[in-house]
Amino acid sequence: MKPRLTLITLGVDDLQRALVFYRDGLGLATPGVVGEEFEHGAVVFIELQAGLKLALWPRGSLAHDSGLPLSQRGAPSFSLAHNVASQQQVDAVMAEAARAGATITKPAAKTFYGGYAGYFQDPDGHLWEVAWNPQFDVAD
């Protein structure tokens, strides 16, 4: 298999709340909710970068589409990482997330690898790391 990651889908409890958090709180551009005319079709798409989108989809719709039973939210088993170009940008993004309603789970601090990072959870409990890593070249 040739890796080709094009879409990251997050199951959410409340699509409108998730839309407000990501669009209005974090400032991510989206046309809003689309697909409402279809049963289990309402979804929000956000362009992250060329060829990669974030989808916000009700957890019930994701369960229905995958054929799995709807489960309870649990402890995060993965995180999404947002790498930035400086420690100051880490602090700015963490503050923006907090203002938008995120739960700061680990305030930004120096890391063991010589970088600087913190973690927050969105309103549905999805874990995000905001990091500056001096070994990564971050292109805007």
The CATH number assigned to the domain holding 121 equals 3.10.180.10
Q: How many degrees, rounded to 5, is the angle at CA 6 between CA 62 and CA 31? A: 70
Classify residue 72: in a domain, yes or no.
no
Examine the domain organization and report whether 85 and 38 are in the same domain.
no
15 is a domain residue: yes
Within a domain: 2:
no
Given 19, 43, 66, the domain boundary residue is 66
- 57 Rama class: left (phi>0) / alpha (psi -120 to 50) / beta: beta
3-state DSSP helix/strand/coil % of the chain, to nearest 5 = 25, 35, 45
Number of domains in the chain: 2
- In order along its 140 residues, the chain shows pLDDT tens digits of 888 889 999 999 999 999 999 999 999 999 999 999 999 999 999 999 999 999 999 999 999 998 989 888 777 788 999 999 999 999 999 999 999 999 999 999 999 999 999 999 999 999 999 999 999 888 76
Cβ-proximal residues to 126 (8 Å cutoff; 6+ apart), any chain:
10, 76, 80
Give the domain range for residue 89. Answer: 79-132
